[in-house]
Amino acid sequence: MKRILKEPLLHFLLLGAALFIVNGLMQNPGPRSDAGEIVVTMGQVENIAATFAKTWQRPPTPEELAGLVRSHVREEVYYREAMAMGLDKDDTVIRRRLRQKMEFISEDIAAQAEPSDTELNAYMEAHADAYRIEPRFTFRQVYLNPEKHAENLDRDTMQLLAQLNQAGAEADASQLGDSLMVEHQFSVASTSEIGSQFGEQFATKLSELTPGQWQGPIKSGYGVHLVWISERTEGYLPALAEVRNAVRRDWENARRLEANDKFYQELLKRYTVTIEGLEPVEKEKKPVGKPTK
């Protein structure tokens, strides 16, 4: 039962029925649909005056109000005659507008329900990659410039590596190797931050190294590096509380698309669609909501 209560279609039908009733109540005292009779009610006149006041920050003068009401009547006459002549048919703009109004209704329904933590957690787990917190590294790097070492690059690198490992953790390696305009030492830097400065392959390679010893060489866009990782924070999927806003936003978006589609599919059931010269239209594919993180 609970499930059914949450169904967007049910919401739509209920809301639609409610709208129908309310509309009926509101509309009826207004311009009656009886052919040949137009009644502008007090309520409508007040509404016209209020709209004017909102735009111009003052109430309309009696002349202005009379003009607005005349214009309203003119619109109503044209509207009815145009509908009678079927001018609304085959009009892309009107059709699109009506389609949009229908979509607004189904979107409104989707927006009604406040998601529970269980729902959000489930959504987050299903789209874990979008919310995962990146691994971070605290490390030092010593750079060797291939242009300077030419064919001795490998030998020089291995020599330096051996010397560094002999010196160990205490070694101040900031003056070793060749100079490069990036920092020698990085503190809790994320893989994307490291990637933007050394290139992606360097950042990827870093995750494969063991902390607590000089290792390498690993390649960057500039040459080769020897690296000492002193600390590595693994990437993780955060608790919902940390990213609730983002998950909620994405969940809502996915839900909106889903509701639109479900709604449409239900409506589509009432029709048999034949397109001459083409195969019968299949059920449209579900749009895939993509998380926005």
Partner 1 sequence: MKKTIRTIIALAIVSLAMPVFAADPPVGDNDAGVVNPEALAKITPNKAPYSPYAGRNYPTRPLFGDTHLHTSYSFDAGTAGCRLGPVDALRFAKGEEIVSSTGQRVKLSRPLDFMLVADHSDGFSLFPRLLDGDPAFMADPTLRKWADMMNGGQGMEALIEIVTAQTNGTLPEVMVEDGFNPQRPGYRSAWHAEIQASEDANEPGRFTALLGYEWTSNWGGDAAGNLHRIVIFRGNADSARQADPMTTAKPWGSPDPRDLWKWMAAYEEKTHDRVLAIAHNGNLSNGRMFPIIESFTGKKIDRAYAENRARWEPLVEITQIKGTGEAHPALSPNDEFADYEIWDEGNLDISEAKKPEMLEFEYARSALKNGLKLEVELGVNPYKFGLIGATDSHTALASAEESNFFGKTSVAEPSAERWEHDFAYNPKLNLRIKNWETSAAGYAAVWATENTRAAIFDAMERRETYATTGPRMVVRFFGGFDFEAADANSRIPAKVGYTKGVPMGGDLTAAPKGKSISFLVAALKDPIGANLDRVQVIKGWLDKDGKTQERVYDVAVSDDRQIDADGRCKTPVGNTVDVPNATWTNTIGAGEMITVWTDPDFDPALRSFYYVRVIEIPTPRWTAYDSKYFGITMPKEVPMIIQERAYTSPIWYTP
Question: Given the rule CB under 8 A, which residues bind partner 1?
Answer: 92-94, 96-97, 100, 145, 147-149, 152, 156, 159-160, 163, 166-167, 170-172, 174-176, 179-187, 190, 192, 195-200, 202, 220-223, 245-246, 249, 292
Distance, in Å, from the CA atom of 203 to the CA atom of 225, rounded to the nearest integer, reads 12
Query: In whole angstroms, how close is the CB of 51 to partner 1 at the nearest point?
Result: 11
Token pair of 185, please? 């030492």
In one-letter notation, the amino acid at residue 184 is H
User: Cα dist. 75→38, 46, 81 in Å?
Assistant: 11, 17, 10
9/171 with CB nearer partner 1 = 171
222/251 with CB nearer partner 1 = 222
Closest CA to 208 of 222, 196, 219: 219
Query: In whole angstroms, how close is the CB of 10 to partner 1 at the nearest point?
Result: 28
146/266 with CB nearer partner 1 = 146
Query: In whole angstroms, how close is the CB of 15 to partner 1 at the nearest point?
Result: 22
Alpha helix segments (H runs only) across 28-152: 42-56, 62-84, 92-112, 117-126, 128-131, 146-149
Element containing residue 195 per DSSP (H, E): helix 191-198
Distance, in Å, from the CA atom of 185 to the CA atom of 183, rounded to the nearest integer, reads 5
Task: Please work out, in degrees rounded to the nearest 5, the angle formed at the alpha carbon of residue 264 by the alpha carbons of 114 and 277.
Answer: 160
7/147 with CB nearer partner 1 = 147
Query: In whole angstroms, how close is the CB of 248 to partner 1 at the nearest point?
Result: 11
29/287 with CB nearer partner 1 = 287
112/174 with CB nearer partner 1 = 174
Distance, in Å, from the CA atom of 101 to the CA atom of 112, rounded to the nearest integer, reads 17
Collapsed DSSP state (helix, strand, coil) of residue 223: coil
Query: In whole angstroms, how close is the CB of 81 to partner 1 at the nearest point?
Result: 16
Token pair of 63, please? 């002349």
Query: In whole angstroms, how close is the CB of 177 to partner 1 at the nearest point?
Result: 8
